[in-house]
Amino acid sequence: MTTISRWRLGVAVALVRLVNEASRRSGRGTGTVVGGTVGLAIDPSVLDGLSRGRTTILVSGTNGKTTTTAMVAAGWGDEVVTNDSGSNMPAGLVAALASAPGSAAVLEADEGWLAEILARTRPAVVVLLNLSRDQLDRANEVRQLASRWREALADAADVLVVANANDPLVVFAAESARSVMWCDVPTPWLADAWSCPHCTRALVRDPTWHCTCGFARPLALTTVLDDRLSIDGVVLPLNLDLPGRFNEGNAAMALTALHAVGVDLHGALSRINVVSEVAGRFALRRWGPYTLRLHLAKNPAGFDALLPSLARDGEIWVAINAREADGRDPSWLYDVPFETLRGRLVRCWGDRRLDLATRLDYAGVSFAIANETAMTGRVSDVVSVVANYTAFREWLTRTRPC
């Protein structure tokens, strides 16, 4: 690095910190993106410079990125730099890395930006969780993403990939990498991977998936069992505070990545076990007389994984918006298996509550349109609130911690 390059990097990092602090103090933002935007304008290679000398783990996928990133950070221990706000594009990563020193970093990476972030951060490990359709009115079709991942990983000679062996699109992307640790983790949603990404023939599932062309699920190093998991021959009991089989899978992949960088598995698991909420997800909150547990779900795959984990007692409130951050088209609601909620009352919230109510009616699910001024119900039960991006932020703002 030349003297001019070092000077430009130093100026960019100083401005990132200054602008982010000004944003927080003024109350005009959280200081997790705007400074990074300024830093990239001053020095387009600032992300490269901030990543240099660190051992970095990237986490990407359509669902579970924020939770898995939080698990990796918790399991790694002290002095870990992370973008725990979920700002997962280059500006957010720059802001996170500029905020603190440290030799270890775990970064959530937006799946559409993974190729560029991979090239700029030169991570030791990349965790690939899953690929499914999400906001197709403004995002790439999932097979295009899988192909872009595949090309990027083929060029990343030194990176170790921790990949979901049960998602055919992830396997297609990761099989180009030079080193892969495959994970057999709960993956209920496979509706975006019915055909082989190599030859387009229908995949066979009996019970593991394969194609007649030879493309097949690889053997896994990590396996999630009933109440434990096995990583590279080490068997560990699972006792997570976070609910759901999908979080067991997130924990398994987080621990596999930590194992790859030499972190003791038993110590890491003890720290991951006590993670009880992630950026408001799964948190218990108060709203008037109600106790709410907040959940984020933003696409069919996310709902499919989350719905079986909801408490059997108490109402279910679902809040759906269709703003820019959510995707403007809510027709994806018809791919969500709401039929599993028959026998429960679902209260519909959000800008698109009528679209949601129509979908529930087709599913044979009892529903009510939310009316804040006329709320009734058994307030002694915990209400499960499931919301997509902007609706989740609204519920997090309007409630208070228990």
What pairs with residue 172 in β-bridges? none
CA separation (Å) from 211 to 196, 197, 199, 215, 216? Answer: 7, 10, 9, 5, 6
Which pLDDT score is estimated for 139?
67
Give one DSSP letter per residue of 206-243, joined into a string: SSSEE-TTS-BPPPPSEEE-SSEEEETTEEEE---SS-
The dihedral of CA 375, 378, 381, 384: what is its sign? negative
Among 280, 274, 295, 249, smallest CA distance to 74 is for 274
Whether the pLDDT of residue 144 is over 70: the answer is yes
User: How do residues 226-263 score in pLDDT, each as one tens digit?
Assistant: 889 999 999 999 999 999 999 999 999 999 999 999 99
- Domains of the chain, by residue range, sit at 53-273, 284-401
The rounded distance, in Å, linking the Cα atoms of 393 and 210 is: 40
CATH class of 284-401: alpha beta
User: How do residues 259-295 score in pLDDT, each as one tens digit?
Assistant: 999 999 999 999 999 999 999 999 999 999 999 999 9
User: How do residues 176-201 score in pLDDT, each as one tens digit?
Assistant: 999 999 999 999 999 999 999 999 99
The rounded distance, in Å, linking the Cα atoms of 113 and 151 is: 13
Whether the pLDDT of residue 377 is over 60: the answer is no
For the chain, percent of residues with pLDDT exceeding 70 = 95
User: How do residues 48-105 score in pLDDT, each as one tens digit?
Assistant: 999 999 999 999 999 999 999 999 999 999 789 999 888 899 999 999 999 888 899 9
Which pLDDT score is estimated for 138?
66
Q: Answer whether 123's CB lies under 8 Å from 90's CB.
A: no
In this structure, whether the domain defined by 53-273 belongs to CATH 3.20.20.210 is answered with no
The rounded distance, in Å, linking the Cα atoms of 355 and 348 is: 9
The dihedral of CA 229, 66, 270, 401: what is its sign? negative
